[in-house]
Structures are given as structure tokens and as C-alpha cells.
């Protein structure tokens, strides 16, 4: 019995879609990101991310282990800080950034 070869995306599309639109197809990287749960930021969220990132760079504490996540106008901070003073300062700095409505603090002290 012959071995069945898996069909490619294009072969499946040609047989199942009446008028396939081949003008756009996700890249392998985009498919991988979608599988991993990646969500691209819209223009406003990207601008907020940039402002928060800039503020963290200038806050005077080591923020190399702090990750920023943006969902609309809420900023989630994940990662590690060295002491309680750094934690307080970082959350305070981010809370004062223009456009931030809420700070979800998930930082831990190490």
C-alpha cells in the first residue's frame, strides 16, 4: 500500500475553497507567533509601551528583569526587583506615565 503524503496548505485550499484569495498568507513566523498566543499591539498600545519603557529606563533602578505587558490602557509588570523600595518606585513611575489607567503589579522581590 502506498504511503500517504500530507497535503500542503495550497493543495488543500485549491480543493476546498471556491475562489481562494492568494493575495495574503501568514508567514511561518506569524503562524508560530499565533500558536504561541502572540498579540500585536495596536498603535496606541505601542505608543504607551514606548512611554512606559522610556520611564522605566530612567527610574534609577535595575529594571532589566521587568517585563511590560499592555492591554488597552492597563500596564502589567512582571519580573523581579531587588528590594521593596525599587518595587514601590517602579510601580509609582509607571502609574504616572501619560495614558496609564491602571498598573497590575506582578513584580516579586528577590
Domain that residue 62 falls in: 43-109
| Per-run averaged pLDDT (10 residues), the chain, 110 residues | 70 69 71 74 92 95 93 94 95 96 95
Q: How far apart are CA 64 and CA 80, in angstroms?
A: 9
- CATH number, domain of 72, equals 3.30.1340.30
In a domain, residue 95? The reply is: yes
Residue 22 within a domain: no
pLDDT (0 to 100) of residue 78: 94
- The CB-based long-range contact list for 1-7 (8 Å cut-off, 24+ gap) reads none
DSSP structure string for 51-105: HHHHHHHTSSS--TTEEEEEETTEEEEEEEESSHHHHHHHHHHHHTSTT--EEEE
What is the number of structural domains in the chain? 1
C-alpha 72, offset from chain centre: 12
pLDDT given for residue 100 in this prediction:
97
What tens digit of pLDDT does each residue of 60-88 get? 999 999 999 999 999 999 999 999 999 99
Q: Where on the phi/psi map is residue 40: left (φ > 0), alpha (ψ -120 to 50), or beta? A: beta
Length of the chain in residues, anyone?
110
User: What is the model's pLDDT at position 55?
Assistant: 96
Amino acid at each position: 500500500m502506498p504511503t500517504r503524503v500530507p497535503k500542503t496548505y495550497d493543495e488543500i485550499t485549491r480543493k476546498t475553497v471556491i475562489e481562494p484569495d492568494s493575495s495574503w498568507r501568514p508567514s511561518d513566523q506569524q503562524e508560530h507567533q499565533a500558536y504561541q498566543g502572540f498579540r500585536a499591539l495596536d498603535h496606541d498600545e505601542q505608543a504607551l509601551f514606548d512611554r512606559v519603557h522610556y520611564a522605566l529606563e530612567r527610574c534609577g533602578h535595575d529594571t532589566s528583569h521587568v517585563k511590560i505587558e499592555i492591554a488597552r490602557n492597563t500596564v502589567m509588570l512582571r519580573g523581579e526587583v531587588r528590594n521593596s523600595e525599587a518595587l514601590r518606585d517602579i510601580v509609582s513611575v509607571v502609574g504616572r506615565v501619560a495614558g496609564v489607567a491602571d498598573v497590575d503589579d506582578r513584580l516579586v522581590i528577590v
